[in-house]
């Protein structure tokens, strides 16, 4: 081999086995051996080292093979490895292959773990002439297996310690516990609390019917049988139980909370029952239980600064309003003032009354969550400063009546904190407005000339709608925008409050991207309606409606319709401008839905069908 002529004999001996007309066997074998990461060696029949592959020198970190040549190969192995290597040489020299694993150091003293095969090289008569040794470095795998074994041992030790801890916890637990085994419910484990409950009897190995014959007929044995057969737990609360706290003591009535929990084996078959519970005799008194609950509720509400209220909803009217003292104070109602909805709304800031009404309608919507969650301001009254209120309630239907039951709390301090936070948002909003104003100015300077004045106006109107939509998103922290807010922002430039738009649909949220494309779409439709459609005369109207339905995949199907009526007769335009492309492409893409625009003579109809959520 190159740089080591002492190895040429063994290599040539092996190469003679390769009989190819156009291949240099020696060169081929050298290339194969030099690229292998296995340490390939040729030994004589006594185990002396005759040859080592280039790859073997690499992995064995051998710089000078001549210093190792003719050395006894088994001497590279220590302890059990040396014995295994000598046995492997002996077996291979007899004509049989052998294999072992062991530790051996490299020429530089670095420890390795090897998987070794020793094979006989036979002459034409089938007699061994030399030995082929192939060693593969499996140090990483060996170390990994050792680590796994170590971890398994540690895991087993931890599991044993955990089991011991659980057993101690079970024995010392304040609640009574026991484990019953088999269909006869034989006691297998009992803790101290259970023994104290039943009079410190020796129960281990005793069937439950034999242990407590005097409770026959109370139904407990039958419950155990049912849990064992059905495999379903039974939970008892404040169950009356005749117990004997010591073997000679009289029976006394106790009230217990307990659970019979079936125990399953790996095949899912019930093998026993775990019993756990507590003696609640001292809490049985109804008066004490009610007092404790009232006290706990009062303390919780006082700690949270919450007031409790409820009202009944009949035909959309809120009647029979009830408030506790804290709610009455937070809602600025005087002690001698009648608790009516009209009186309440008169004390709410006018700017917040619409949001309050919309939140109530959303909560009453059968397809909604049934949760009222709204914040509003109470107007200042003598001795009652203006404050922000957070009201949260749930709709409850019972006996055919729908009620709101909820809480109110003062969030004025939080609102003040939010106002400070909004200063940063306001600065960002100001910068965005400046940016849009700059875009408008650039557009105005670029689109000069009277022949494009109309296009300049259209461009500025679109920017205005975009700015309005951006303002709306800024007000909702960019996460989402409601459909009603989007409608108000988009239709404001077109007289959205003059009564010519009929809007019908329940609340739903859109992503910022969807809200922007919806606002621009509504603006384009309203602009076209003003020029050519229902808003171009005094009699036309536009109906905007949508319907939400729960789909099988849990999402909501949206069917959104813009429909014009009462305007001049319309027909489909021969060419499509920017507005039509915006509606048919951008709106559809942002909602991942389908958009259709048709032109019946009575007025334009635009529909969007999509899935929300």
pLDDT of residue 379: 94
**Residue 193 pLDDT greater than 50, yes or no:** yes
Q: In the 8-state DSSP scheme, what is residue 379?
A: P
Q: Between 479 and 606, whose confidence is greater? A: 606
How far is residue 212's CA from residue 242's CA, in Å, rounded to a whole number?
11
How far is residue 118's CA from residue 112's CA, in Å, rounded to a whole number?
18
When pLDDT is averaged across residues 227-243 and rounded to a whole number, the result is 88
DSSP string, 544-567: EEEEEEE-TTSSEEEEEEEEEESS
When pLDDT is averaged across residues 417-446 and rounded to a whole number, the result is 58
Q: How many CB atoms lie within 10 A of CB 481?
A: 23
**Residue 516 pLDDT greater than 50, yes or no:** yes
pLDDT of residue 495: 75
pLDDT of residue 334: 92
pLDDT of residue 48: 94
pLDDT of residue 376: 94
How far is residue 86's CA from residue 133's CA, in Å, rounded to a whole number?
12
pLDDT of residue 584: 83
When pLDDT is averaged across residues 515-530 and rounded to a whole number, the result is 87
pLDDT of residue 290: 65
When pLDDT is averaged across residues 276-301 and rounded to a whole number, the result is 72
Average pLDDT score, the chain: 82
Q: Between 286 and 211, whose confidence is greater? A: 211
pLDDT of residue 447: 56
pLDDT of residue 397: 86
Most confident of 2-11, 61-70, 165-174, 300-309: 61-70
When pLDDT is averaged across residues 568-591 and rounded to a whole number, the result is 83
**In 3D, which of 509, 522, 482, 517 has the Cα closest to residue 589?**
517
Q: Between 37 and 504, whose confidence is greater? A: 504
pLDDT of residue 34: 66
Q: How far apart are the first and last CA of the chain?
A: 71
**Residue 543 pLDDT greater than 90, yes or no:** yes
pTM of the predicted model as reported, rounded to 2 decimal places: 0.32
Q: Between 246 and 515, whose confidence is greater? A: 515
Q: Report the range of poorest mean pLDDT among 124-128, 278-282, 456-460.
A: 456-460
pLDDT of residue 540: 92
DSSP string, 130-146: EEEEEEEE-HHHHHHHH
pLDDT of residue 462: 56
When pLDDT is averaged across residues 595-610 and rounded to a whole number, the result is 94
Q: What is the pLDDT of residues 44-99, one digit of tens each?
A: 999 999 999 888 888 888 988 888 899 999 998 888 889 999 999 999 999 999 99
**Residue 3 pLDDT greater than 50, yes or no:** no
**Residue 430 pLDDT greater than 60, yes or no:** no
What lies within 8 Å, CB to CB, of 396 at 6+ separation is 402, 403, 404, 405
How far is residue 305's CA from residue 302's CA, in Å, rounded to a whole number?
5
How far is residue 544's CA from residue 560's CA, in Å, rounded to a whole number?
8
List of domains in the chain: 5-137 (3.30.450.20), 173-284 (3.30.450.20), 288-410 (3.30.450.20), 415-612 (3.30.565.10)
pLDDT of residue 10: 41
Q: Report the range of poorest mean pLDDT among 106-115, 463-472, 511-520.
A: 463-472
* Residue 126: half-sphere exposure toward Cβ, Cα within 13 Å: 1
pLDDT of residue 446: 44
**In 3D, which of 202, 217, 223 has the Cα closest to residue 275?**
223
When pLDDT is averaged across residues 570-581 and rounded to a whole number, the result is 79
**Residue 589 pLDDT greater than 60, yes or no:** yes
Name the token pair of 248: 């000679």
Q: What is the pLDDT of residues 324-354, one digit of tens each?
A: 888 999 999 998 999 898 999 999 999 999 9
Pairing, β 541-550 against β 501-504 = parallel
Do 419 and 398 form a contact (C-beta atoms < 8 A)?
Answer: no
Q: For the chain, what percent of residues have pLDDT higher than 70? A: 81
**φ/ψ (deg, to 5) at 47:** 95, 15
Total H helices, total E strands in the chain:
18, 22
Q: How many CB atoms lie within 10 A of CB 24?
A: 12
If pLDDT is split at 50, 70 and 90, which confidence band does 249 have?
A: confident
SS3 content of the chain, % helix, strand, coil (to 5): 45, 30, 30
SS3 of 374, please?
Answer: strand
What lies within 8 Å, CB to CB, of 233 at 6+ separation is 227, 259, 260, 261, 262
pLDDT of residue 603: 94
Q: Report the range of poorest mean pLDDT among 95-99, 479-483, 602-606.
A: 479-483
């Amino acid at each position: 081999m190159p740089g080591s002529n002492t190895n040429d004999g063994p290599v040539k001996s092996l190469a003679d086995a390769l009989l190819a007309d156009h291949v240099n066997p020696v060169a081929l074998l050298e290339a194969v051996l030099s690229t292998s990461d296995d340490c390939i060696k040729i030994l004589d029949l006594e185990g002396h080292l005759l040859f080592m592959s280039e790859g073997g020198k690499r992995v064995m970190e051998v710089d000078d093979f001549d210093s190792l040549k003719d050395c006894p190969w088994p001497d590279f192995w220590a302890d059990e490895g040396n014995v295994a290597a000598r046995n492997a040489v002996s077996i291979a020299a007899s004509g049989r292959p052998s294999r072992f694993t062991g530790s051996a150091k490299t020429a530089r003293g670095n420890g390795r773990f090897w998987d070794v095969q020793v094979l006989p090289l036979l002459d034409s008569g089938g007699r061994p002439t030399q030995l082929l040794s192939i060693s593969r470095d499996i140090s990483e795998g060996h170390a990994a297996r050792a680590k796994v074994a170590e971890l398994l041992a540690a895991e087993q030790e931890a599991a044993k310690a955990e089991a011991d801890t659980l057993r101690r916890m079970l024995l010392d637990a304040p609640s009574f516990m026991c484990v019953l085994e088999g269909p006869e419910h034989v006691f297998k484990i009992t803790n101290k609390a259970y023994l104290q409950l039943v009079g410190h009897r020796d129960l281990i190995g005793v069937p439950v019917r034999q242990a407590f014959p005097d409770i026959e007929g109370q139904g407990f044995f039958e419950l155990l049988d049912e849990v064992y057969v059905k495999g379903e737990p039974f939970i008892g609360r404040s169950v009356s139980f005749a117990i004997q706290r010591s073997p000679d003591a009289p029976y006394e009535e106790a009230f217990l909370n307990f659970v019979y929990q079936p125990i399953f084996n790996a095949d899912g078959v019930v093998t026993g029952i775990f019993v756990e519970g507590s003696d609640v005799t001292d809490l049985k008194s109804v008066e004490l239980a009610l007092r404790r609950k009232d006290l706990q509720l009062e303390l919780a509400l006082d700690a949270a600064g919450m007031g409790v209220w409820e009202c009944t909803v009949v035909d959309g009217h809120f009647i029979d309003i009830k408030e506790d003292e804290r709610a009455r104070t937070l809602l600025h109602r005087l002690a001698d003032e009648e608790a009516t909805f009209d009186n309440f709304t008169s004390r709410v800031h006018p700017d917040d009354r619409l949001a309050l009404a919309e939140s109530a309608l959303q909560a009453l919507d059968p397809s909604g969550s049934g949760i009222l969650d709204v914040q509003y301001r109470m107007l200042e009254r003598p001795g009652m400063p203006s404050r922000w209120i957070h009201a949260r309630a749930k709709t409850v239907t019972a006996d055919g009546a729908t009620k709101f039951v909820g809480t109110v709390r003062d969030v004025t301090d939080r609102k003040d904190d939010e106002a400070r936070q909004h200063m940063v948002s306001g600065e960002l909003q100001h910068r965005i407005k400046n940016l849009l104003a700059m875009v408008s100015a650039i557009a105005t300077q670029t689109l000069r000339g009277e022949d494009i004045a109309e296009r300049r106006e259209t461009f500025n109107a679109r920017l205005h709608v975009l700015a309005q939509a951006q303002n709306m998103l800024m007000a909702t922290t960019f996460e989402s925008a409601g459909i009603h807010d989007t409608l108000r922002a988009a239709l404001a430039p077109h007289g959205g409050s003059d009564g010519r738009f009929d809007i019908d649909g329940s609340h739903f949220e859109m992503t910022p991207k969807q809200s922007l494309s919806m606002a621009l779409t509504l603006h384009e439709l309203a602009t076209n309606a003003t020029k050519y459609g229902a808003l171009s005369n005094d009699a036309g109207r536009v109906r905007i409606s949508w319907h939400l339905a729960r789909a099988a995949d849990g999402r909501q199907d949206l069917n959104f319709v813009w429909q014009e009526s009462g305007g001049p007769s319309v027909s489909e335009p021969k060419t499509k401008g920017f507005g039509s492309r915006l509606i048919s492409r951008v709106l559809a893409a942002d909602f991942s839905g389908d958009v259709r625009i048709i032109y019946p003579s009575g007025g334009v109809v635009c529909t969007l069908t999509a899935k929300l959520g």
